[in-house]
């Protein structure tokens, strides 16, 4: 297993942030989400230090859908990241974390009128409009509330990024945004640019997630700025901002070879500067929205092994005390992971195990096949690379409480989210009689 961030081995034990995971189990129980704080901050710095230009402002906007709670948003706020939210709940969390509303953008293909209203009431920085119906609702709301608001239109440049189809977002029949070849898109942009209550700042696109080939991002930039030029030439629509979304791929297993972010971002900014200069555009802000690439490798999930069981055909299973409730990605889109026995780090693998959760679903398999040392009940199994879209997508299926989230750094651990209790599970239930 690849060791991420501050992970290190001491005396057969795994440590993260200089805290042994055995100690974390004793203090917080399992399953447990562990976040390596120093590693996260270092990742954020890579984005802030390398995606910057003398020619225009750059915004690094953390895609909070990847992992959102008061603690992490307090940290991203302090580091100086902008924030992308995609629902009233994410917006509420951001505001409760004390985020400057001006730094928040609201996304979503079907924002509810009350979510748009909430964004207007709280003066959030930008609303990324997805389609005409939403534009009409927003325009009417802004007029009613007499509130001017900055908007971008989410466009679809028709790039088919090489990733799982559930996380491709700019295929021609994607549910997101407006196609750049659809005549209706130009009409909508004209209406948005002349709307008395909306300030059309620019366009946005996001080509998909877990994209490992950086060429797609260069292609995206070229298409997006050419489209910006076309809007100016053919429709006299002048834009000052282009948001290129997120999607930068990460390492889950040896099959993933992510590009070096620092090198890529420095190259990307030069390329963007050149494109803007060649097209003679007056762009003032270029934004990106990393989610997975910022948080994923900082996060791990720690489980206790409950049993080791041979199937009738001889496949050895390791059963852990969590599963698809804390990590639905393998069941959802065949996501793959590495794992280790965190209390047997220096022992040789003896078997190829299948790691199964405790949920009543045959599909509740976290890893199909992983070589590990001889496992026994009570061992600690750790799956790294679970920072993004794990806690965020967790559920209470089978009425299993969500695990706690703990941040570790310099030998200290800090509880960020308490483990749910059985009382939490029935909090909103109403009795029959
Ligand atoms: C609009 C938008 N921006 C950014 C992201 C973040 O993507 P990633 O986590 O792959 O960086 C997403 C994810 O789906 C998205 O929909």
Distances (CA, A) of 188 to 184, 204, 228, 283: 6, 14, 14, 21
Q: What is the pLDDT of residues 233-245, one digit of tens each?
A: 999 999 999 999 9
Query: Residue 356 belongs to what domain range?
Result: 8-36+296-425
Q: How far is CA 172 from CA 19, 157, 206, in A?
A: 48, 8, 13
- Residue 138, pLDDT score: 98
Check: CB of residue 34 under 8 Å from CB of residue 342.
Answer: no
169 versus 70: the higher-pLDDT residue is 70
20 pairs with which residues across the strands?
15
- Residue 263: its pLDDT value, please? 98
Does residue 195 lie in a domain region?
A: yes
Task: Say whether both 375 and 411 belong to one domain.
Answer: yes
Nearest CA among 379, 381, 373 for reference residue 322? 381
CATH number for the domain that contains residue 332? 2.40.37.10
| 353 and 369 assigned to the same domain | yes
pLDDT digits (tens, 9 = 90+) for 388-425: 999 999 999 999 999 999 999 999 999 999 999 999 99
**Same structural domain, 262 and 285:** yes
Domain count, the chain: 2
Ligand 1 center–CA 90 separation, angstroms = 14
Distance CA 424, CA 231 (A): 52
The residue whose CA is least distant from atom 4 of ligand 1 is 246
Residues 250 and 322 occupy one common structural domain: no
279 with 327, same domain: the answer is no
Give the whole-angstrom CA distance, residue 111 versus residue 173: 19
Atom of ligand 1 nearest to the CA of 204: 1
SS3 content of the chain, % helix, strand, coil (to 5): 35, 25, 40
Q: Are residues 332 and 267 in the same domain?
A: no
CATH of the domain at 194: 3.20.20.10
Q: Is the pLDDT of residue 177 over 80?
A: yes
Work out which ligand 1 atom sits closest to the CA atom of 167. 14
pLDDT at 279: 98
Is there an atom of ligand 1 within 6 Å of 43 CB? no
| DSSP for 55-82, written as a single string | SSEEEEEEEGGGS--HHHHHHHHHHT-E
pLDDT above 90 as % of the chain: 95
Determine whether the shortest distance from the Cβ of 39 to ligand 1 is under 6 A: no
Tell me what pLDDT residue 421 has: 98
The yes-or-no verdict on residue 167 having pLDDT over 80 is: no
Q: Is 63 in the pocket of ligand 1 (CB under 6 A)?
A: yes
Mean pLDDT of 176-196: 96
* Cβ(206) – ligand 1 distance below 6 Å: yes
Q: What is the pLDDT of residue 184?
A: 96
| pLDDT number for residue 173 | 76
Ligand 1, pocket-test mutation among 111, 209, 248, 387, most atoms within 8 A of CB: 209
Say how many Å lie between the CA of residue 297 and the centre of ligand 1. Answer: 16
**Residues 315, 265: one domain?**
no
Kindly state whether residues 157 and 276 are assigned to the same domain. Answer: yes
Q: Are residues 369 and 274 in the same domain?
A: no
**388-418 CB burial, b ≥16 within 10 A, e <16:** bbbbbbbeeeeebbbbbbbbbbeeebeebbe
pLDDT, position 161 = 72
Look at residues 423, 422, 386, 381 and name the one whose alpha carbon lies nearest to residue 405: 386
Instruction: State the catalytic residues.
Output: 360
- To the nearest 10 degrees (0 to 180), the angle between helices 70-79 and 37-50 is 40
The answer as to whether 62 is a domain residue is no
175 and 196 assigned to the same domain: yes
- The answer to the question of residue 71 being in a domain is no
The answer to whether the beta carbons of residues 292 and 284 sit under 8 Å apart is no
Mutate to test the pocket of ligand 1, among 81, 85, 129, 246 (most ligand atoms within 8 A of CB): 246
Q: Are residues 281 and 140 in the same domain?
A: yes
Q: Euclidean distance between the first and final Cα of the chain, in Å?
A: 53
* Percentage, residues of the chain above pLDDT 70: 98
Residues 197 and 165 occupy one common structural domain = yes
- Give the three-class secondary structure for 377: coil
Atom of ligand 1 nearest to the CA of 246: 11
Mean pLDDT of the chain: 96
């Amino acid at each position: 297993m690849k060791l991420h961030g501050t992970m290190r081995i001491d005396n057969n034990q795994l440590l993260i942030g200089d805290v042994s995971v055995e100690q974390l189990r004793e203090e917080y129980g399992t399953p447990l989400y562990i976040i390596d704080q120093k590693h996260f901050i270092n990742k954020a710095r890579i984005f802030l230090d390398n995606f910057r230009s003398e020619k225009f402002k750059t915004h690094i906007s953390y895609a909070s859908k990847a992992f959102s709670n008061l603690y992490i948003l307090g940290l991203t706020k302090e580091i100086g990241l902008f924030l992308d939210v995609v629902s009233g709940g994410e917006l509420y969390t951001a505001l409760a974390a004390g985020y400057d509303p001006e730094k928040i953008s609201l996304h979503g293909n079907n924002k509810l009128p009350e979510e748009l209203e909430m964004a207007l009431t709280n003066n959030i920085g930008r609303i990324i409009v997805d389609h005409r119906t939403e534009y009409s609702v927003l325009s009417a709301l802004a007029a009613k509330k007499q509130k001017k608001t900055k908007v971008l239109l989410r466009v679809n440049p028709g790039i088919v990024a090489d990733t799982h189809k559930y996380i491709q977002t700019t295929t021609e029949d994607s549910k997101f945004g407006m196609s750049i070849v659809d005549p209706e898109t130009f009409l909508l942009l004209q209406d948005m640019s002349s709307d008395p209550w909306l300030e059309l700042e620019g366009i946005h696109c996001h080509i998909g997630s877990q994209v490992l080939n950086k060429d797609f991002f260069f292609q995206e930039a070229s298409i997006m700025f050419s489209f910006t030029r076309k809007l100016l030439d053919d429709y006299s629509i002048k834009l000052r901002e282009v948001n290129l979304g997120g999607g930068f791929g990460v390492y889950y297993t040896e099959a993933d070879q992510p590009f070096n972010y620092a090198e890529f971002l420095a190259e990307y900014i030069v390329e963007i500067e050149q494109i803007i200069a060649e097209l003679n555009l007056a762009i003032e802000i270029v934004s990106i929205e990393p989610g997975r690439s910022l948080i994923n490798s900082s996060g791990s999930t720690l489980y206790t092994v409950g049993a080791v069981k041979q199937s009738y055909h001889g496949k050895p299973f390791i059963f852990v005390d969590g599963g698809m409730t804390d990590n639905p990605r393998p069941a959802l889109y065949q996501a793959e992971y590495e794992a280790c026995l965190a209390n047997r780090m220096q022992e040789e693998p003896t078997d190829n195990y299948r790691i199964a959760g405790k949920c009543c679903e045959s599909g509740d398999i976290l890893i199909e096949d992983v070589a590990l040392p001889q496992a026994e009940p009570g061992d600690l199994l750790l799956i790294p690379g679970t920072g993004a879209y794990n806690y965020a997508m967790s559920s209470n299926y089978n009425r299993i409480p969500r695990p706690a989230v703990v941040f570790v750094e310099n030998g200290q651990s800090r509880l960020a989210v308490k483990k749910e209790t059985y009382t939490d599970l029935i909090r909103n239930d109403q009795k029959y009689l």
